[in-house]
Chains A and B, each alone.
Chain A
Amino acid sequence: MVKVLFFARLREELDCAGLEIPWSERLTDLDALYDALCEHGGERWCRLLGQRNIIRAVNQTVAEGNCVLHDGDEVAFFPPVTGG
């Protein structure tokens, strides 16, 4: 299983704070997870999650580009941060 989380504007636009995707051999990396989420949510999810400025974090560390996934990983998608 891969735990997926969405934050801030993206969470509101998807109307979803997170979901769990059952583990399969197909979920080899972040790009494969993106494809699975596109299948799950359709064209709208595909477009919103594929925006260029969306940041992806694996197990609470920002991933630069694609990244290998393992069963039990936590993956977050979020817009650029605006704290402080």
Chain B
Amino acid sequence: MTETKSLSFRRSPVAEVTTALAVRVQQADFDVSGLQSALLQGAAREGAIATFTGYVRSAERGGAIEAMVLEHYPGMTEKCIQEILEQAAARWPLLAASVVHRVGSLRAGEQIVWVGVAAAHREAAFSACEFIMDYLKTGAPFWKKEVGPSGTRWVEAKEDDLARTRRWESSRA
């Protein structure tokens, strides 16, 4: 089984708080309530938590999907996610932020990705969660291959996803 974890702490320049950052890339499924409890511990049980969970769709552009195979670049993937979390922590006053991303073969309906952000107030939590998810789509080396009744197909990068990322570059928090 492939699993890598990293845990780090970053002193935010925005506020005098230390942000607990965690990155995990793994084949195994994950338990959302356990992850949220761990995040809350990291946030000293204060304020607000925003989370996002992504699941494998059962159809894409009208075609059925049976499974999704996710490939990554061990080492670089974790490094890129860590950098995305550090950028988020530099931009908003966060207490804790975590990403769990699965790799390997996943069936339709299975969980792929989880992002959790804790902050003292909801605006930072909502915004940072969306920021992290947008950058995960365009800035971390993962590749998806769809498996359907008529064969396999590598997913193409979407212009919409790139546009969502660029939106953050033109707006500063």
Contacts and interface: CB of A to CB of B under 8 A. Distances in A.
- The interface residues of chain B, by DSSP majority, are classed as mixed
B79 A9 contact: no
B36 to A, nearest CB: 19
A8 B158 CA distance: 16
B54 A7 contact: no
Interface in A62-84: 76, 78-84
B141 interface: yes
Contact of B138 (A8, A9, A81): A81
B136 interface: yes
Interface of B: 54, 70-73, 75-76, 79, 101, 112-113, 133, 136-145, 154-158, 161
B26 to A, nearest CB: 14
Contact of A81 (B54, B75, B79, B143): B143
Given A7-B141, A7-B143, A60-B79, A81 B157 contact: yes
Contacts, number: 69
Given A79-B154, A83-B137, A8 B143 contact: yes
B71 A8 contact: yes
Contacts of B79: 60
B54 A78 contact: no
A80 B157 contact: yes
B142 A83 contact: yes
23 contacts: A5-B73, A7-B71, A7-B73, A7-B141, A8-B145, A9-B143, A57-B141, A60-B73, A60-B79, A61-B76, A76-B141, A78-B73, A78-B143, A81-B137, A81-B139, A81-B157, A82-B143, A83-B101, A83-B137, A84-B112, A84-B133, A84-B136, A84-B142
